[in-house]
Amino acid sequence: IMLHSTLALSLLLIAVSSNLAMAIKKEKRAPQTLSRGWGDEITWVQTYEEGLYQAKKSNRPLMVIHHLEDCQYCQALKKAFAENEEIQEMAQNNFVMLNLMHETTDKNLSPDGQYVPRIMFIDPSLTVRADITGRYSNRLYTYEPQDIPFLIENMKKALRLIQTEL
């Protein structure tokens, strides 16, 4: 009986400690509220105005992602975006990043309508890059999960265009 209770106790301790370890692990990587699932390692700005300010100050392009929680296309793109290491690294190191769940008052950010998901780039000179578009003529700034390689090319283009134009 003694052996049995010792075994039960150690199993209980193991269960408790592994739950504790998971809780601590979760605690350590507190989800960053501003990421909204687009990438927790990325530093996100809170507002469009802050994004413009940071872009100008840091001489990095601002990437604005318009999305909505209840949009399945946004969710699918978000998953692909968050899982792509190249995108995550570029977003963290070379861009000022903003994801918005509401429209901005800047009409330049909806040149062809207010749809989601929509990804646009703004140059450090605060020019909206209407020339960096996705693959669809009816929604110029939308991307689908399979367009991730294309989005990567557009991110590189946004970086390249800065260097050549300043």
- Locate the domains of the chain by residue range: 30-159
pLDDT digits (tens, 9 = 90+) for 118-144: 999 999 999 999 999 999 999 999 999
Distance CA(117)–CA(100), nearest Å, equals 10
SS3 64: strand
Cis ω before 117 (30° cut-off from 0) = yes
pLDDT of residue 105: 85
Which strand ranges, in their side-by-side order, compose the sheet holding 62-66? 96-100, 62-66, 118-122
Name the CATH topology of 30-159: Glutaredoxin (3.40.30)
Question: Residue 103's pLDDT is what?
Answer: 87
CB 122 within 8 A of CB 58: no
Question: What pTM does this model have?
Answer: 0.79
Looking at the chain, the whole-number percentage of residues with pLDDT higher than 90 is 73
In this model, does residue 49 exceed pLDDT 70? Answer: yes
**pLDDT digits over 84-122, tens only?**
999 999 999 999 999 999 888 889 999 999 999 999 999
